[in-house]
Structure 1
Amino acid sequence: MCGIFAAYKHEDVHRYKQKALQLSKRIRHRGPDWSGNATKNSTIFVHERLAIVGLESGAQPITSPDEDYMLCVNGEIYNHIQLREECPDYQFKTLSDCEPIIPMYLKHDIEAPKYLDGMFAWTLYDAKQDRIVAARDPIGITTLYMGRSSASPKTVYFASELKCLTDDCDTITAFPPGHVYDSKTDKITRYFTPDWLDEKRIPSTPIDYMAIRHSLEKAVRKRLMAEVPFGVLLSGGLDSSLIASIAARETANATNDVEPSTYDSKARHLAGVDDDGNLHTAGWTSLHSFAIGLPNAPDLQAARKVAKFIGSTHHEHTFTLQEGLDALDDVIYHLETYDVTTIRASTPMFLLSRKIKAQGVKMVLSGEGSDEIFGGYLYFAQAPSAAEFHTESVQRVKNLHLAEPVFLLVYNLYNYLFYYLQII
């Protein structure tokens, strides 16, 4: 994932620029492919890019043709093809999936996040109004923090990680998922308001297994939007195996649809899912799966069997207890937490991410999130009633951004993908 840093209404923004660049450098591990910055009035944006879509022309910050609007995004907008079609009069400058956020802001103002299907944290500066707008995706897959300084009360800071804000801010808060900030009112308001957010609202619609299947397949398909090599994390369990099997089929279908002699990224080929639901991608021609564990771990054996069944190119990695202990300092640095459970769960993922990165892969899918939605944790079996089961599930989903700091992508690879959200 990318890294963003923004300072709005800074008292001496041009003098502050060099410090802003140094602060952003602290999160360059999130975006090692390119660094960009832009300054307008008293506002500066800095961006550390991990290139997934629009490789040649998607560098950020992205500015509008008239230079009145600038945008910094960490994330992916899955419906960017459709959003481009909705804005035929806007002169797009890049093939980035994030650029449509600018015309959507021009069209819908602070309601723009409602029209985005994706995982994102972004800041947009409107130079005409000297206004900044910031938003975070509905579940909080991508991280975003907001800071203020008593020494400069009018200045508002935004960053992907806490370490960018500790020098200047004496007040730092986690930006809430599903919300948007508007400097006009200096308020954060909720834009994501589905019925299921009310855990006391118990659904009565009979289960439709085919609807679940089609939603899951569609969710995996659109998350394969990439112009770089990608893979899947495979433990051999039900969740990751389902994701891997769907991804393998979708990758094969997308590869068969590509005609090498006519494929030309400069002819405005857009990676993503088109209006007919077809996937367009330029990643590897076969799916690569990755597993990690202690030597002879049951998960490794199960993953091996699944990989053979779905036909993925499988990569198996092991680590020792000492290697896990040696990595703790780095894990804590990237997670920015001392929570024991989170660190324990993230250490193998951190080690695996380094291995995957060394193999040239920038994006991976995982089966995370399913236990919260479908009640996969053992204690769900003790639910007194179906209603209480549902209530607990919704609460777990709403708190995912707090309970799963694994959202923080270590070495730019551990891509938490919340596949099942649209099913609820």
Structure 2
Amino acid sequence: MCGISGIISYNLSQDEIHLRLEQMGALQAHRGPDDKREAVYTFRSGFIGFGFRRLSILDLETGMQPIVSQQDQSAIICNGQVYNYLELKATAPEMGYSTKGDIEVALNMYRKHGLDFLNMLNGMYAGAIYDHINKKIILFRDRFGIKPLYYTEWENNFFFSSEIKSLLKGNMRPTQINRDRIETFFKYRYVPGTDTMFDGIKKLPPGSYLEYNLDSKKYEIKRYWDYKLDRIIPDMKLEEASEEFIRLFRDAVRIRMRSDVEVGTLLSGGIDSSAVSSEATVTKPDIRLFSISFNEDKYNELPLIEEFIKKNGNRFRLTRQHTGLCGSEMLKELPEIIKSIEEPISLGTILPTDQVCRMAGERVKVVLTGEGADEIFGGYRKFLLETAASVYHGLSIPEQKVIEEIYPELKSYMKIRSNNPVERYIQSESLFTGDELKELTGKDRLNDQFPIDATPYLSGNEHPLNAAIAMETRARLPDYVILRLDKLSMRHSLEARTPFLDYRLAEFAATLPVDFKVNPANNREKYICGNSFAMYSILDKETAFRKKQPFTIPMADWLSEPSRLPECIKEVMFGDMVKKQGIINPDILKRHISLLSKEDVGPNTLVSEADRIYAVIIFTLWYDLFFS
């Protein structure tokens, strides 16, 4: 929806704050190309500055921010959408409204209910409230961290922003790499938790708020929501569960279709985006569908998409389909994509995601996507593997043999499987081993521990599957999966909405018996989703029960053809860039390149030499962009 910036200062002048807000906003123009505004407020010891860049989607005429209450002079800026604003507004008609949009409703909920207002919001948001009466600033972020919010302190001032580049510009601090997180990145492919790869730049955690006291100059961060997965209802009936799932899913899509501009969907070959697109046609029969294809058959989902649309023609007969081709030439876009994401994340799908967002952004301002279903309902193979491991010793010998055939990696996993759910999750995520990291970085002692602040609420009573889901939704979902969706959609001035991350759906999923999510014996993931979509004719049965194929790219194929690589990639793999930076060992990179092969590598391959090389490429290009 937009980009926000803020400054709390005790030594800068009002004019200087205004200038810095303008500069911070200019670096976020892609997040809000339609309008901009800066406002500076005075308090006893200094000034507060709020900056806003707007992507106009809802309440086109009166929805500009910051919004200031005429009753008590409290003010708000917020990036994102509060989808249930109409329902909330109906509960407090006496508060008085000068706009027709959602963010003033959020401000009035705070004015009426205090910090409890955060439990009332259903949406994706990261914002700030200036509480004039109580002399404090409240920063807040949605439950799953769909919208980003960064902050830092420098020279007796406090700064926050939707993006890191804006923050670096506003606070004028020297840009330095966070060397404590280099091994973290290479082990997990991203940096989970509150740290970033920029020294001194922090992320406000998902489901949290930061309360800054203007008198004491101190702040504290508290969680207002934890995803608790120890609440299974064991005697739940599948038919009743499917009915409730569909009710919540339909409403999640319905309220995310609220917009004063055109809405489309991102459609892949998976059941999640297919179901979202199908349900969206109920509200908008002529909705635009945006998809990406590949030349390599085993990665190309376009035939599945076309087959799905044909089989469900009654729902899709008026839709408009737009497709693009993602080939190895997209690798030349990596530097600009990395600059937009700002944090290094070694995720191949940033390439097709950027391409489909570019295509959609040229035609609409809003899209619905299928992100979140795999994390909430257990859609990844690692969840099946974890569940299989948890029941293995209770099976008969014939049943164990069946499970071993389905999961050839099960025995080796069980040999190292920790009793600690946090350690188990880490074991499944490692890109490089400890010894490999020492060789790559040249360090004898590693700082590669999983950050404590990226671990979720765990009571100890969770089923192993739900413990893994808790880890996934607290770390990888916000800091890897959704980070790339937000930054790349907003790079093209496009708002991406995620119905499966409606907190009501997530809290319902927490009560489901494990076998409603995954069944390792039948190799079925997200069972409740497929079963319900078929039962209620949102999807045809073949699509609903289609085996999941990871949405990824043919990286091994592309990197195995050096002559077709763009110069920026050649410079990393075969030039002097890695050596000049002096952070990782170029000889170790050369060894991985010598082992590179596209044989026996496909969409289901978890870790390959191409993945390791790609991580080095991402990191090296990122370092070159921000520090060289």
Q: TM-score range by the shorter chain?
A: 0.7 to 0.9
> Structure 1 143/381 Cα, relative in aligned 2: closer, same or farther at 3 Å?
same
1:63 aligns with 2:68: yes
Q: Which amino acid aligns with 2:504?
A: Q
Deviates more, 1:38-47 or 1:8-17: 8-17
Give the Å deviation of 1:128. Answer: 3.2
Q: Which amino acid aligns with 2:2?
A: C
Helix, strand or coil for the counterpart of 2:147?
coil
Q: 1:242 aligns with which of 272, 275, 278?
A: 275
Any idea what the Cα deviations from partners look like across 1:82-128, whole Å, max 9, x if unmatched? 22222222221111211112211111122221111111001011233
The equivalent residue for 1:180 is 209
Q: With the length of structure 2 as denominator, give the TM-score of the two structures.
A: 0.58
Any idea what the Cα deviations from partners look like across 1:223-251, whole Å, max 9, x if unmatched? 11111011011112211111111111232
**C-alpha separation between the residues in 1 aligned to 2:109 and 2:200?**
31
Write out aligned runs for 1:298-377 (5 A). 298-308=300-310, 309=312, 310-311=315-316, 312-322=319-329, 324-341=330-347, 344-359=348-363, 361-377=364-380
1:422 aligns with 2:425: no
Helix, strand or coil for the counterpart of 1:142?
coil
Give the Å deviation of 1:337. Answer: 2.2
The equivalent residue for 2:264 is 231
**C-alpha separation between the residues in 1 aligned to 2:20 and 2:382?**
49
- Is the 2:143–2:207 contact (alpha carbons within 8 Å) kept by the matching residues of 1? yes
Write out aligned runs for 1:17-28 (5 A). 17-28=18-29
Give the Å deviation of 1:67. Answer: 6.8
Give the Å deviation of 1:200. Answer: 5.1
> Structure 1 36/302 Cα, relative in aligned 2: closer, same or farther at 3 Å?
same
- Is the 1:407–1:416 contact (alpha carbons within 8 Å) kept by the matching residues of 2? no
1:109 aligns with 2:114: yes
The equivalent residue for 1:204 is 234
The equivalent residue for 1:40 is 41
1:412 aligns with 2:493: yes
1:164 aligns with 2:166: yes
**C-alpha separation between the residues in 2 aligned to 1:39 and 1:79?**
30
Q: Which amino acid aligns with 1:406?
A: R
**C-alpha separation between the residues in 1 aligned to 2:109 and 2:245?**
30
**C-alpha separation between the residues in 2 aligned to 1:414 and 1:205?**
40
Give the Å deviation of 1:385. Answer: 3.3
> Structure 1 66/177 Cα, relative in aligned 2: closer, same or farther at 3 Å?
same
Q: Rg larger in 1 or in 2?
A: 2
**C-alpha separation between the residues in 2 aligned to 1:16 and 1:250?**
44
Any idea what the Cα deviations from partners look like across 1:277-330, whole Å, max 9, x if unmatched? xxxxxxxxx2110101224753112222333433121111113311x1121111
1:396 aligns with 2:448: no
Relative to its length, the structure with more strand (as a share) is 1
Deviates more, 1:180-189 or 1:51-60: 180-189
Q: 1:83 aligns with which of 82, 88, 99?
A: 88
The equivalent residue for 2:436 is none
**C-alpha separation between the residues in 2 aligned to 1:234 and 1:376?**
17
Deviates more, 1:221-230 or 1:178-187: 178-187
Give the Å deviation of 1:20. Answer: 1.8
Percent identity between matched residues is 28
- Is the 2:368–2:499 contact (alpha carbons within 8 Å) kept by the matching residues of 1? no
Give the Å deviation of 1:146. Answer: 1.4
**C-alpha separation between the residues in 1 aligned to 2:266 and 2:149?**
25
Give the Å deviation of 1:46. Answer: 0.4
Corresponding residue pairs, total: 381
**C-alpha separation between the residues in 1 aligned to 2:32 and 2:264?**
18
Q: Which amino acid aligns with 1:2?
A: C
**C-alpha separation between the residues in 2 aligned to 1:11 and 1:127?**
20
Write out aligned runs for 1:190-201 (5 A). 190-193=223-226, 197-199=227-229
Give the Å deviation of 1:205. Answer: 4.8
Q: Which amino acid aligns with 1:422?
A: R
**C-alpha separation between the residues in 2 aligned to 1:288 and 1:326?**
28
Give the Å deviation of 1:54. Answer: 0.2
> Structure 1 235/221 Cα, relative in aligned 2: closer, same or farther at 3 Å?
same
Q: With the length of structure 1 as denominator, give the TM-score of the two structures.
A: 0.85
Helix, strand or coil for the counterpart of 2:234?
coil
> Structure 1 403/296 Cα, relative in aligned 2: closer, same or farther at 3 Å?
closer
Q: Which amino acid aligns with 1:27?
A: Q
- Is the 1:199–1:395 contact (alpha carbons within 8 Å) kept by the matching residues of 2? no
Q: Which amino acid aligns with 1:216?
A: F
Give the Å deviation of 1:332. Answer: 0.4
Any idea what the Cα deviations from partners look like across 1:66-89, whole Å, max 9, x if unmatched? 471211010111111122222222
Write out aligned runs for 1:255-270 (5 A). none
- Is the 1:289–1:307 contact (alpha carbons within 8 Å) kept by the matching residues of 2? no
Helix, strand or coil for the counterpart of 2:281?
helix
Helix, strand or coil for the counterpart of 1:419?
helix
> Structure 1 200/90 Cα, relative in aligned 2: closer, same or farther at 3 Å?
closer
Instruction: In structure 1, list runs of 5 or more residues that go unmatched.
Output: 253-285
Instruction: In structure 2, list runs of 5 or more residues that go unmatched.
Output: 174-198, 392-462, 510-628
1:125 aligns with 2:130: yes
**C-alpha separation between the residues in 2 aligned to 1:64 and 1:219?**
30
Give the Å deviation of 1:148. Answer: 0.7
The equivalent residue for 1:278 is none
- Is the 2:18–2:38 contact (alpha carbons within 8 Å) kept by the matching residues of 1? no
Helix, strand or coil for the counterpart of 1:39?
strand
Any idea what the Cα deviations from partners look like across 1:167-201, whole Å, max 9, x if unmatched? 425622100111111113611111114xxx34455
- Is the 2:74–2:130 contact (alpha carbons within 8 Å) kept by the matching residues of 1? yes
The equivalent residue for 2:151 is 146
**C-alpha separation between the residues in 2 aligned to 1:201 and 1:422?**
14
Relative to its length, the structure with more helix (as a share) is 2
Q: Which amino acid aligns with 1:166?
A: L
How well do the aligned residues superpose, as a CA RMSD in angstroms?
2.0
- Is the 1:36–1:47 contact (alpha carbons within 8 Å) kept by the matching residues of 2? yes
Helix, strand or coil for the counterpart of 2:104?
coil
- Is the 1:334–1:408 contact (alpha carbons within 8 Å) kept by the matching residues of 2? no
The equivalent residue for 1:220 is 253
**C-alpha separation between the residues in 1 aligned to 2:346 and 2:220?**
34
